[in-house]
Amino acid sequence: MKYVVETDKSVDQAASALEAAVARHNFGVLHVYDLKQTLHGKGFDLPNECRIYEVCNPAQALKVLSSDMDMNMALPCRISVYQDGGKTRVGMVLPTALLSSLSQAEGLEEVAAFVEKETRAMIDEACQS
């Protein structure tokens, strides 16, 4: 249900590499949530870095929404760059698992498989030494 890769890079290095990989795959970063910073601003200290990237390929998003408008709740794709147990990890919920659990609309399986292939490649590229 999820895909997570560990890297020797710091969170900053992995995040920068992810942003470059997203662009190379013709996706865009819509927003980045810095959970450690956000929680700190609310008076809570998260000990680990955690950044959540919302990424999107507009053509693929249009296909998903044209098949099942309710899938707007599952978009955009989210890729996390975070620390856990002293290690940097980059991961996501698999688009094929997420969309198939929410809808059986025609055409979604193919789109989800394409997006999953691309986002896995982005994560792998971001984690390469």
Asked if residue 63 lies in contact with residue 99, where contact means CB atoms within 8 angstroms, the answer is no
**How many of the other CB atoms lie within 10 Å of CB of 91?**
18
- The CATH number of the domain where 36 resides is what? 3.30.310.70
- Average pLDDT, integer, range 75-93: 97
pLDDT at 78 > cutoff 90: yes
Burial class (CB in 10 A: 0-12, 13-18, 19+), 108: buried
CA-CA distances (angstroms) from residue 105 to 77, 83, 108? Answer: 18, 36, 6
Q: What is the band of 40 on the pLDDT scale with cuts at 50, 70, 90? A: very high
Position 57 scores a pLDDT of: 97
What does the mean pLDDT of the chain come to? 97
pLDDT at 34 > cutoff 90: yes
Domain of 66, in residue numbers = 2-127
- Counting the structural domains of the chain, the total is 1
pTM of the model: 0.94
Q: What is the band of 129 on the pLDDT scale with cuts at 50, 70, 90? A: confident
pLDDT at 59 > cutoff 90: yes
